[in-house]
Amino acid sequence: MRKLYYIFLFLVSANPTLYAQTTFNSDAAVRSVYHGVDSSLERDLVDVTHKFFHKKNKLTIDSAKEHVQHKYNLAIVPAVGYTLQTGFAGILSANIGYFNNGSNKISSITTSITYSQYQQTIVPLVLNIWTKNDKFNLVSDNRFIDYPSSIYGLGGRTDPNKGHTIDFIGLKLHESVLMLIRKNIYAGIGYYYDQFWNIRAINPATRRINTIITKELGFDETASGPVVKFLYDNRQNQINPTQGLYANLVLRNSFTFLDGDQNFQSLLIDVRKYLPFPHKYSKNILALWSYNWLTIAGTPPYLLLPSTGWDDQYNTGRGYIQGRFRGRNMVYLEGEYRYRISRNGLIGGVVFANVENFSGDLSQQYNTLLPGYGLGVRVKLNKHSGTNLCVDYGFGKNGSGGFYVNIGEVF
């Protein structure tokens, strides 16, 4: 979850086949998927394990170039980690990055299986597919979660010591298709379905409060309805952008006649900008993110209200536990500076800062700014797609803090 905030304690075992970067199909031309970088000169974790386990067969520039000619690159990562949200957890992640014929944008398929100390099960399957000549973009975000977690009430002034643990099972099915309108501009439609069931408060020392919370939330929540989407995206690598602008607008509707609990409308405005810094030829990147999640009509179910770490990729609010803040509307800003530590791109670092703001209750009022900041390291898992292992530590207000881990960049 949250691309899974784990500090990795184990990455590759003595058997190098546990981590694999596998090729399936050949491409007619050699090109660097990782924009602005000749991947034949890059190094990733595959190269490191290859060198360690096959010292007599050193990887040469020629063999690296031959490898780039292949179309599909698969990264498989087993790991163990820890966060406040999950306790200790084991995860097996897989990522495929590839180009369809005639496409200038990288397509990706990502999945993982996680089981945590707190008996949480998390299984996402996320597809971002670009068709020939980038005419269509197919986006499929599917997640199953069995997920004990904490809630803290509404707004930005809630007490971090007065959280309550609830348990629930969740299913997310978000499907959409976008069509090219003009260069890098897309519009389309989709269908979003979210269901939570077996909702119950499980704090062992507060049975009376458990009963009240369970009654207020209900035993299940469902949202179902069509979405309208507009997208501008001129990034050449969506997995790890090094340049360009991404702007995504999603108007979501949920209707009772489509099995939703209540009618509501929400608007998502997600804008990201990537700049080489400090100069245009730099391999270091300044990344900026504005994420605005607004309720414009009706009231979503409690678990679908805007909340820290409950964006589509579970990445907002580094510095706070998932679900720490919740309200009718959310405004969020973040900046991150990504820099190389090793010249070959294997190791990198980041510093970041963010601020979020929530309506204090289910009204339109906002009351406080909630800052977060931190730093982290990057390890290149797949030099052809630019996929990194990202390990960050974030700090928030009132002593809040923790590790956050992603496969692929945070945004």
* Encoded tokens for 62: 């020629």
Within 148-219, strands assigned E span 149-151, 164-182, 185-201
Q: 108-120: string of b/e by CB count within 10 Å (b at 16+)?
A: bbbebebbbeeeb
Q: Is 4 left (phi over 0), alpha (psi -120 to 50) or beta?
A: left
Say if residues 114 and 143 touch (Cβ distance below 8 Å).
no
Tokens 């990194």 sit on residue = 388
Spans of all domains in the chain: 16-407
- CA–CA distances in Å: residue 336 to residues 143, 291, 317, 348: 27, 14, 13, 13
pLDDT in tens, the chain (411 residues): 444 433 343 343 223 223 333 333 333 333 344 444 555 678 877 777 777 766 555 444 444 444 444 467 777 778 776 666 777 888 888 878 788 888 888 888 989 899 988 889 999 999 999 999 899 999 999 999 998 888 887 776 676 777 788 889 999 999 999 999 999 999 999 999 999 999 988 776 666 666 777 777 788 999 999 999 999 999 988 888 999 999 999 999 999 999 999 999 999 999 999 999 999 889 999 999 999 999 999 989 999 999 998 998 889 999 998 889 998 999 999 999 999 999 888 999 999 999 999 985 655 555 688 999 999 999 988 787 788 888 899 999 988 888 887 778 899
- The hierarchical CATH code for the domain 16-407 is 2.40.160.50
CA distance 165 to 17: 39
pLDDT value for 174: 97
Helix (H, G, I), strand (E, B), or coil: what is residue 36?
coil
3-state helix, strand, coil in the chain (%, to 5): 10, 50, 35
The closest of 284, 277, 406 to 348, measured between CA atoms, is: 284
